[in-house]
Structure 1
Amino acid sequence: MPRHSRVFRSFLISYIVILIIPSIAGYMSYRTSISVTQNLAIENSVTQLQKSKEILERRMAEVEGFTRQLAINQDLNILMNEKKSGDQTNVYGIWKMMRDILTFGQTNDFLQNFFIYLANYNVILTPGSAYFRPEHYYENFHYNDLTLAEWKQTILGKTHRSEVLPLRPFVSKGVQTAVLTYMQSLPLDSFSGSSPATVVVLIDKNTIGSLLSGITDRYGGWAHISDGEGRTVAAKGIGEPDMEALAADARFDKDKVSQFYDDDLVITIRSDASGWVYRAGIPRQVLLENANKIKSITWTVTGIALGVGLLVGLFLAYRNSAPINRLVTVMKEQFGTDAGEGRNEYDFLHGNISDMITNNKRLESELHRQLPLVRDAFLKRLIAGEFQSREEILAAAAQANTGIYGNSGYVCILQINGYSGMDSVEILNELNAARLILKQAMFDLAGFLLMTDLGSDKIVIVFASKEAETGSELGRNEIGGLLHQLSERAFSEYRISVTAALGDRFAAETEVSQSFERAKMTLEYAVNSNRKGILWFDEIQVESATYYYPLDAELRLIGTIRAGEIEEAKRIFQSIMVQNTENRELSVEMKHQLVGELKGTFLKLLDQKTFLESDLFESLKNRIIGIQETEKTETIQAEIDGVMEILCGLITSRKNDSHTRTVEQIKQFIAENYSYSELTLYRVAEQVERPEKYISQLFKEVTGMNLSDHLEKVRMDHAVRLLRQNAYTVDEISMKVGYNSSHSFRRAFKRVTGVSPSSYRQTEED
């Protein structure tokens, strides 16, 4: 089986190798794209974390700026420097200060929750409220891990200079949360002991977390900010135990900007201003989401491509190996299966094809060597009148490469004089040498001519040329001059005397035998009258004791009519009539016999199956029988011409019917198989069982159109219908109408219709 042969496997392996090469290139491109995508995702994540850091530092700077504005506030300076006398309190000043700080929380969400502690009044000012006893403020706002006394001591009782407390649990009006605390003592030059005033800003963890949501919301990971001592400043999406475990793990490098830890990409950046450490954890799966999409698409496309490529490879390997396997099978049947053992199919084919080429060349050489014999046999059959029709003559002439078809001329018989008895070997050898000398001399004088031996002392020469076809005397004079030169040269150099007898001119290949018979009659006349030199048929006196209607002329006439060649049949009949009316004087009895013979010839023709089945059989038969021998020769000739026209017309009609059926069969086959891209002239010829050249000429003759043009028209008609339906793309339509290439289809469509397929479809839609 072809699919199990070594040729099939060789083709398949080569296709697989070709398929693997782009797959490797695709894999390398895939790995590169994955790496680029991963690096780009890391870079974007670092940029996002850097932006969060910048925003947070900018907000903290605004908080610090807020404390500096308070430091230069005149009303606050008055309040914190006043000395309290008894129970008197500067209520108006405190109220005015509360009103002034109320607007700060509206411009910065970090200033939503802050207070100012005035030590001299023991008052806590908040936006909108004043607590004349800190215990009241502590009841609503306090740290979980600080008592009132500890809070007063660490927060209110100490001097702070831009101090930040890390994130710690906090209760705000009963709500549990965690805050980052920023503290600044006023005035700014307070360094030790107690200070007149302290500004405390409480930043809720959710407020800080909103700055980190760009990372956590986008990637679903976590973010963490710690101060220089590792204490948590802010966190989102991760707990303190997890961060402690991360910091304690030896696998984690704290100095790396980006690294994979477990299933997360951990990004670390440090603030040069505050020393804070910003970390973000992004899940590997989310980070490489685009890369995974690329991976999925790449593997899917690659898998489909490999699968389809393998199927295509199997198909192509089978298709390409099948002809070779069939050829190998045929050769093994011819040369034996043992010839292929131990060798692969290519070596087997190479060896046998080499032998075939060698044998073909040997045969071709042998044919060239035998070509003179083939020509000689063809010429003997031609002058003997053995061919039945002009088509048969032309086919045999083409096979023998004679060059006679399409020409006219004269037949000449050269007789070597001086040899009366030819009963000894010596005389026969001399005659053989003389014939060779005469042939070579004629070849030297005139070039290639058709020549053959006629007995031991005669040579037949056919002078055929285009000039003789015109009927002018130029051809005849040239032939006479050549024969005269030949005669003088043969006699002067070799003492060979010859007599040349020529028949009358033949106007077609079918009349060569007739010219030969006339040359024989001329030679017979020359021998009987002891004439020497060159003698033409029209120079002799022809006896008219009988009519001229030889058997070969009758056979040629019958064969020509059977072939439907009316012009050739009329030419042969005209030649017969000329010989009997112009070159002979027939008596009344001979004329009657000639007409009877002609009627008998046509009655024999009617016995053929073609004419017996015709509706015109009876009328033709009666018409032939009704020809009267007593009528004028012109009337008889016209009547026979009419009969021949009807007979040839019947033959031609039958041929045309057969041709029409063949053409219809071709059209039907094309209509059923136009979508097959391998539909070629060879396939059509194989279907109708005719030669390719024959069906090509036949189709053009019957339809007036080339077969290839008809196939293209059928395909374009179906393409137009599909374009109007608007159900397929142009590429799909090109495949459906038998084109392997959409470019070839577009070019053919524009050549036939004048517009491109797309333009045609748009025009139909409009």
Structure 2
Amino acid sequence: MRLQLRKYNRSVIVTWIFSYLSVLLVPIVISLILYSATHSLVEKEINRANELLLTQIELSIDSKLKGLEQLSVEVALNKNIVSFTNVEKPLSDDHYFQLFNIAENLRTYQNANDYIEQIYVMYANSDTVISTFNHIDSRGLHAIMRQRDETTFEEWTQLFAGKYVNKYSPMLYWNEGKPTSTVMFARSLIFNNPIQPHPILIFLINVNKLLESLPQYNDSRVLILDKDNHFIASSKDKEKLQDQLPYERLLGKKGLVYAEMNQDKAALSYFTSELTGWKYVSVLPANIFNEKMEYLKEITRLSIALGLLIGIIVTIIFLRKNYMPIQVLLQNMTQKSGFRFDGKSNEYSFLQNALHHTFVEKDAISDRLKLHNNTIRAHFLTRLLKGQLERKFPLQESFIAHNVQFHSDRFAVLLFSVDAYGKLQSDEGRDAFGQKTQMLHFILSNVIEELAGKNATVYSTEVNELIACIINLKPTLSEEEEIKELNRMASQTQAFMKEHIYAEMTIAVSGVHSDVYGISQSYHEALEALEYRIVLGSGQLIQYEEKSIESAQSQRNYYYPLSVEQQLIYYVKTGNLPKAQMLLGEIYEANFKVHPVSVALAKCLLFNLASTMLKTLDEVSTISRRNFEAHVKDVECLLICETIQEMMTHMNRVLMQICEWIQTEKKNHHTYLIHDIRAYIEMHFRDVNLNISMIGESFSLTPSYVSKIFKEHTGETLLDLINQTRLTAAKALLSEQKLTVNEIAGRVGYADVSTFLRIFKRFEGMTPGKYQKI
């Protein structure tokens, strides 16, 4: 059970489940993001509403405060107020009358604005403070109007210090012993008398009346702070708001701050007036917009739950649907690839390993094919050259498969036969020599391709130990230009290889033919031209359409009559080297200079000359068997000669060696021959048919030649030697006296007794009978 569970945990199904669940997390995350964005949006909307409210409050209050500034200008223009500036203590009755008039005027200004609690004009010269109903001094004003209860007079006078006063400040106003929160607006009245100190006009603003006229929004509460963040007034819950307000967080001109106020979270929006520097703070309980967010939370929770439910159902359906192809693929891979899914890894890992193994095998096969690619391509080009491709198969597909691309339908073939490998010649064995051959082929292919340039496309391969180049010529070339281009490439390649590699080669150039199937015809023409290397020699550039080839084809016979052959053999056998070389030169001139023969006839002449030399060496070898093996080697060298020039050179060398040897051996060779003749006569003298002709045939010599040689070296004739040998045997028989004369004559080789008697009497001076008696 545990193994099954582990196998199931490794399966791709588990991975898919987590993947699909991860996908399900996307809408959940999106819902949370939307919820957060909506929360922020609601928050911004409420903040925007609060800012709009605060802007309206600011405009309302600032408009009223601007009215106070305009009213201060009107007060500064009042003659009664201006005239009292120069009054000093003590006051006279006229001064008190002026005070009464000033108070009357101040009441008029106060009645015009219901939010003005009181108006004071403070004169520094007379230390007189005039209000709407009486006049007092500055200490009296301090007693009824100061910032705090403990504010001293000196601290209070600092509010009005300075050359020019223009400020708003929160104050406590004691009216009938009860302090009331007010805002003081103090401003210096500037007149045309710069010597006297400026009187100060003071407005006490009833903030509550000021706030009563302001717009309200739901359960929001509005607070007013001065520019130093000191509390001025609030629309409701003054004591609680003043104590719980986070003054240190209200920074900047405007913003939104969350804080705990009255044990509840509240949103504080604030805005700073450009005119007074006051901060207008709107305090809104957080539950006002939390109600909307709770509704949004419920919708979000419902959508997440519904999405999870539907997602799980869809996951199960698609999981089953998507796993079926994997299961079928596993079965097929198990059956066909030889791998078995054992559950040690998931399905993807198994498929990956199986495919990796398949790809490795494919790459190995591909690498093996690449190793043989050149061979396959060379085989294809060879079949193309030999015309062995079947026409029913489309050649274009074969060209693409073997990376062969022709740009026109004009083709020719160059055949290269290497005569000498130069620097690439190797003495390290056949394998090393094969590598050098491949290197030469590589160099030659690159050279011919480089020389072809843009005028032709070249494909090369090896055919029967020859290097064949298929030349696909440019279609814009004329027929004359094509021939010139082929000759240029061939001649420059030959010169380059000879100069840099020291390699010598014979090059055959075919004619130019149209159509791909004309390549085979070009190849056979090049082969036919290359055969003329036998006639023209190695290291030549042979064109198929040369006139010399055409004239050679018209020649039907070659010059080498039987009499000339016998004469050549005779000169060799007699060791006459000058005449043998002169005759050989005449044969060459007659067949290859005056009237060049065809290739077929040249081959016949080649073998005929080899046959003549074989006969000559064979006859020479009969004289002395000791050099027979050397003669055979010379014949083998003659048979492997590829050109007439090579054969003529080798024949001259062999003739020189043979003639020198004959001249050297002539002196002692006859001694062995005479000894052999004597032994032969001793063995065959009883034969009645023994004569000079029989002896010549036995030694493959003519009777006259044998008789002449024997006479020159012994001083006697061969016939005398035969007779003396027979007579010696006859005398021995006569001494025994057991046989008759007739019987002895027959036993020593004489068929006629009269001939025996005549020869015996000529050599011994008596008859056989008389010899027997003696």
Give me the TM-score of the superposition, normalised by structure 2. 0.32
TM-score by length of 1: 0.32
* Higher gyration radius (CA): 2
